[in-house]
Amino acid sequence: MKIFRSHILIGIDSISQMQKIRDIEKILKAEIKKNGLEEEIKVIESGTLGVFGFGVTMLVYPEGVYYANLDETKIKRIVEEHLLNGRIVEEYKIEPPEAKKDLTIKGKQERIVLNNVGLIDPRNINDYIARDGYKALEKALFEMKPQEVIEEIKKSNLRGRGGAGFPTGLKLSFTAPIEGEKFIVCNADEGEPGTFKDRLIMEGDPHKLIEAMILSGYAVGARKGYIYIRGEYKLSIEIMQNAIKQAKQYGLLGDNILESDFSYDIEIKKGAGAYVCGEETALIESVEGKRGNPRIKPPFPGVKGLWGKPTVVNNVETLSNIPSIIVNGADWYKQFGMEKSTGTKVYTILGHVNYPGLVEVPMGTTLREIIFTYGGGIKGDKEFKVALVGGAAGAFLGKDMLDVPMDFDHLGEYKAVLGSGAVLVMDEDVDILDILENLMEFFNHESCGQCSPCRIGNPTILRLIRKIKTNDNLKGNEWETIEEIAEAMKETSLCALGQSPILPISSALKYFGKELGR
Amino acid sequence: MNNMVKIKINNIEVEVEKGTMLLDAIKVAGFDVPTLCYHEDLEPTGGCGVCVVEMKGAPTLKRACCTPIDGDGIEINTFSEKVKKARRTVVELILSDHPDDCLTCIRNGNCELQSLAEELGVRENRFEKIYTEKEIDESSSSIIRDPLKCIKCQRCVQVCQEVQEVAAIDMIQRGFDTIMGLPFEMGLADTVCINCGQCISVCPVGAIYEKLNEKDVWDALSDPKKHVIVQEAPAVRVAIGEEFGMEPGTITAGKMHSALKRLGFDKVFDTNFSADLTIMEESTELIGITKHAISTGDMSKLPIITSCSPGWIKFMETFYPNLMNNVSTCKSPQQMFGALSKTYYADKEGIDPGNIVSVSVMPCTAKKYEAQRPEMRASGYQDVDFVLTTREFARMIKLAGIDFANLPDVIADSPMGEYTGAATIFGATGGVMEAALRTGYELISGETLPSVDLKMVRGMDGVKEADVEIPGLPFPLKVAIAHGLGNARKILDKVSKQIEKDRKSEYHFIEIMACPGGCVGGGGQPYGSSIAIRAKRACGLYNEDSTMLTHRKSHENEQIKQLYKEFLGEPNGEKAHHLLHTKYTRRDDI
């Protein structure tokens, strides 16, 4: 095997692609060649490096130096000074928080889901296999009965990362005993504003998701899986398609996987950008080619889902936990996180922090750690005002919540949710009314229109907020009316979308009633 | 296995079968909850959010229409403060998206949203109106859409897609802009809509209604130069009473004739007369084709499919043009009557047909379209000038201040007023089939039918089949009846496949009615119709047939005999062909 003295990681994801990282990469490779360093330095395309807001970045090993805001001039200088002469170009480098830099499982972050992201080439199945990839599948197929796979997942206490936190093993166990054709569906329609973790998981480690879907299929006796990816995620789609093709070539998908009796295939379905299609029954309707409206539950998808057949729907992050659980066992998994919320959680940190991006930390990590340790604190020496946690359908968490362990149960006690894991951090200058208006514009735009509370409630609240904003002929009871509508929407809407506005509205009023003129 | 569960509704314990919907269980306990989008004949969509109730332990309120009871011990409160508050807010939101023009709305006094607001005691509207003006679609000759009134309950879409399987309409746009709409913003007239009006019969508000012809008829009635005559379809006489507080199925044929006389029609005839005529023509056609098939061995002209239902005819022209040659060429009773009114009747009475205004009262909206088809001018004029629905007729009676319930019974005028029991059952699914068999049997065999009541073709099953032994035929006549076009598709697909494969079908005679229940369930009938109500109306027709009429077979109708003798000659003869038969047009390019 060839030994290189230095490795450069180029993080290819949707954002860096838009920033023309491919052009920078070409220049880098040309410069390396020009300087005769081809045999010494290897450029690796990986998934996201987890650092955002700094233009095109790359990570140079063994020093572990992040270079940011790269362009042609900077690349030329870095190649000459750093790669050729071994002098780090200090002025181009950035220093993300130590905790965030650590990409290994031993560091402060606990990387189960993201353990390969940013380290391997997502287009090369061998990279995944070299990191124990498809070991869980081999173990399950040849050493475990389907029921044992379910038991292990049950024992791990893994809970759905899509928002509701439903126990994954239990979900599998509802569908497993039903006879006949069944389906596995992966919800990769990540639509919660400020959330991009599933995209980066797919772009950085696609085979982990494929392996998890095969394992789920084996566990419940399904032979077909669908990955529903939102259409805007072009790179995710391309990388997943490539990974499926490779897995087929390796006999990991298709008939008689690894020469066992088990056959399984995966198909990708593209979403058309409707937020409500992240709701599992609307997603199923969309896969069937229909208008993405939610179905009435019960029956739940586990009993009657895609094409009327039992269907297990899980989120990308949830699924990506499964291979490690199977390889290392439930007991190993349970050492991370809290008693009832085990494992890790991937957060996307954004807003007024120094280092926006992706982190994976144990369940129960506090909001303070997420913002100040991993996010590098508030930008520009401002005060922390509030964070919107869980996406648009999440709640505002103020200073009093900074030290509450973040997991399903603790947040539940405060009528907050983990939701999508988006942490939108706001500094003292943010106008909460602006944020609420923006959120209501979002819900109003994304309502599917099927049920009247959501269809009419959203625009009515939006209109009232705009009246408040422009001080237009106010009666004084506007907030009371808004809360009453949002409460009725929570009680009577068909799906989670219409039930959502109450969370940000009531939590905003709790913290900022005075500011909002309540 | 015991499948019963004990639950508590407002503290009253009831035992119901597991899986019962909350809405039904609540009724068992002697309560009711308000609903809006729910319709007993359709799958619940859960759209409106009005029927919510509180279930102990549940995180949110539950919809009574679509929450099945899955276990013991469930406790429900149907009118807690929380329930009342949420329900009211939802209804107020719906009202904020609906114009307050109740006083001038076609559904005034007969609107489910109006009744709901009343039931919930809504006395103020806290929310400002939120809708924007929308264009009314008047392109269709049968149906008007007023999207502004639409409350997005989706019943019309369900009925069009799932019951009729026509799918002319769908919910389009998203969120607040969601609306029942048409492809590419077409007008209804340009779509595959077959004008059946089932959307109207389920619409809870005034968002869809028939094209109105009341004014045209009033104008004709007040014009001294015009000779205005009228015919009424069989199904009208068992439904019009509902508009005046009578039970569905009450037979009001005599009062109906009476009311029309009082409205000032010069002659009050009856579509039942031409229904008997249709049987004469159609049975003759069936016998001719069947005999031809037997003698030549060429079965490809069979089955013969009935042609009375104009919604079904447009459906066939659009979706099953391959079966066009199997559909009877007989015009519908309305159009046979129309053609005769301006020829036979005009001649007989010496009236200029140009001065005759031929009006029909129909349970149907597609009849308005049918009357305007270019083929329907055999008399040299538009054979039927104006078609009124049962509802329009009722409004005319009310406007004239006629006390319908206390009218004397009057029989229809001669020479186009006599009818048999065979004609009156045309209004129910299976009725045309039964009428045709009563006559066909006797014409083929020359024997008297052993029992006039052919019960195997009656009833509300979606598809009915029977083998009918007729002396003189070498095989039993295999017949099928379908009502509601979704049911029709089942038979038609089978027939299409059989003909394509073997150039013959197992069926010989098929009756198809566009509307569920047949004409009694037509889109022009009084509002609030359901399968149960349609069955009651049908029952009324069978009662009239069995208890009130002298003759029960079409070929026994004296005025029909007179018509052939004086004017038409033979059934299926040349004159009959010219006036009473038609041709069809492929419409599968839509």
A-facing residues of B in 65-104 (CB < 8 A) are 66, 68, 70, 82, 85-87, 89-90, 93-94, 96-97
* pLDDT of res. A98: 65
CATH number at residue B289: 3.40.950.10
Give A41's strand partners. A6
Which DSSP string corresponds to A124-150? Answer: -HHHHHHTTTTHHHHHHHHH--HHHHH
Domain residues for B234? 214-272+336-406
Same domain, A205 and A236: yes
| Mean per-residue pLDDT of chain B | 95
**Which residue, B149, B154, B125, B127, is CA-closest to B136?**
B149
Same domain, B380 and B239: yes
Nearest CA-CA distance, residue A459 and chain B, Å:
7
The larger pLDDT score, comparing residue B71 to residue A514, is at A514
Chain segment B147-168, per-residue pLDDT in tens: 999 999 999 999 999 999 999 9
Average pLDDT in the A108-133 region?
A: 90
Average pLDDT in the A323-351 region?
A: 94
List helix spans (H) across B297-332. 310-319
Instruction: Give the pair of three-digit tokens for residue B491.
Output: 């038979």
Nearest CA-CA distance, residue A489 and chain B, Å:
8
- Is residue B244 over pLDDT 70? yes
Same domain, A241 and A301: yes
Helix (H, G, I), strand (E, B) or coil at A312: strand
Same domain, A185 and A296: yes
- Is residue A100 over pLDDT 70? no
Cβ contact A274–B174 (<8 Å):
yes
Q: Does B249 reside within a domain? A: yes
* pLDDT of res. A126: 96
Give the one of B44, B87, B176 whose C-beta lies nearest to A296's C-beta.
B44
Cβ contact B175–A448 (<8 Å):
yes
Same domain, B142 and B229: no
Same domain, B436 and B536: yes
Same domain, B25 and B152: no
Beta strands at B477-483 and B463-468: parallel, antiparallel or unpaired: antiparallel
Same domain, B439 and B529: yes
Reported confidence tier of residue B1, pLDDT bands at 50, 70, 90: low
Chain segment B262-271, per-residue pLDDT in tens: 999 999 999 9
* pLDDT of res. A383: 95
What chain A residue is nearest to B179 in terms of C-alpha separation? A449
Residue finishing a domain among A375, A398, A426: A426
Same domain, B46 and B175: no
Long-range contacts of B377-382 (CB under 8 A, 24+ apart): B378/B339, B378/B343, B378/B578, B378/B579, B378/B580, B379/B338, B379/B339, B379/B341, B379/B342, B379/B343, B379/B346, B379/B353, B379/B579, B380/B342, B380/B353, B381/B342, B381/B353, B381/B354, B381/B356, B382/B338
* pLDDT of res. A106: 37
Structurally, chain B folds into a number of domains equal to 4
Chain segment B433-473, per-residue pLDDT in tens: 999 999 999 999 999 999 999 999 999 999 999 999 999 89
Distances (CA, A) of A246 to A24, A43, A239, A240, A266: 27, 22, 11, 10, 12
Give the one of A444, A463, A493 whose C-beta lies nearest to B175's C-beta.
A444
Structurally, chain A folds into a number of domains equal to 4
Average pLDDT in the A102-108 region?
A: 46
Same domain, A220 and A248: yes
CATH number at residue A455: 1.20.1440.230
Contact B383, B335 (CB under 8 A): yes
Give the one of B82, B130, B170 whose C-beta lies nearest to A456's C-beta.
B130
Nearest CA-CA distance, residue B131 and chain A, Å:
10
Residues in chain A with CB shorter than 8 Å from the CB of B49 are 451-453, 492-494
Cβ contact A488–B46 (<8 Å):
no
Q: Does A110 reside within a domain? A: no
| Mean per-residue pLDDT of chain A | 93
Q: Find the helix packing angle between A452-470 and A432-446, rounded to 10°.
A: 150
Residue finishing a domain among B34, B66, B95: B95
Which residues of B are part of the catalytic machinery? 282, 285, 308, 328, 367, 370, 375, 519
* pLDDT of res. A108: 63
What chain B residue is nearest to A480 in terms of C-alpha separation? B126
In degrees rounded to 5, what are phi and psi of residue A381?
A: 55, 30
Residue position matching structure tokens 């314990």: B13
Cβ contact B63–A452 (<8 Å):
no
What chain B residue is nearest to A455 in terms of C-alpha separation? B176
Reported confidence tier of residue A105, pLDDT bands at 50, 70, 90: very low
What chain A residue is nearest to B69 in terms of C-alpha separation? A298
Contact A114, A360 (CB under 8 A): yes
Burial class (CB in 10 A: 0-12, 13-18, 19+), B133: exposed
> What span, in angstroms and rounded, lies between the C-alpha atoms of A148 and B107?
62
Nearest CA-CA distance, residue B211 and chain A, Å:
28
Contact B549, B530 (CB under 8 A): no
Residue finishing a domain among A426, A457, A473: A426
- Nearest-5° Cα angle at B223, B218 to B227: 95
* pLDDT of res. B389: 98
CATH number at residue A168: 3.40.50.11540
Reported confidence tier of residue B130, pLDDT bands at 50, 70, 90: very high
Cβ contact A460–B130 (<8 Å):
yes
Q: Does B349 reside within a domain? A: yes
Nearest CA-CA distance, residue B395 and chain A, Å:
32
Q: Which of B21, B23, B178, B179 to mutate to test the interface with A (most CBs of A within 10 A)?
A: B178
* pLDDT of res. B230: 98
**pTM of this structure:** 0.91
* pLDDT of res. A194: 87
Give the one of A274, A455, A491 whose C-beta lies nearest to B60's C-beta.
A491
* pLDDT of res. A101: 58
Same domain, B15 and B88: yes
Chain segment A67-87, per-residue pLDDT in tens: 989 999 999 999 999 999 889
- Is residue A295 over pLDDT 80? yes
Give the one of A444, A446, A456 whose C-beta lies nearest to B93's C-beta.
A456
> What span, in angstroms and rounded, lies between the C-alpha atoms of A154 and A131?
25
Give the one of A446, A452, A488 whose C-beta lies nearest to B86's C-beta.
A488
A-facing residues of B in 236-265 (CB < 8 A) are none
**Which residue, A337, A300, A319, is CA-closest to A169?**
A319
Chain segment B288-331, per-residue pLDDT in tens: 999 999 899 888 889 999 999 999 999 999 999 999 999 999 99
Residues in chain B with CB shorter than 8 Å from the CB of A456 are 93-94, 96-97, 130, 176
Q: Which of A290, A293, A455, A485 to mutate to test the interface with B (most CBs of B within 10 A)?
A: A455
The percentage of chain B sitting over the pLDDT mark of 90, rounded to a whole number, equals 94
Query: How many contacts, defined by CB atoms under 8 Å, are there between A and B?
Result: 106
- Is residue A107 over pLDDT 50? no
Q: Does B90 reside within a domain? A: yes
Residues in chain A with CB shorter than 8 Å from the CB of B128 are 463
Domain residues for A74? 6-96
* pLDDT of res. A18: 84
Indicate if ipTM > 0.90: yes
Q: Identity (one letter) of the amino acid at A294?
A: P
* pLDDT of res. A1: 59
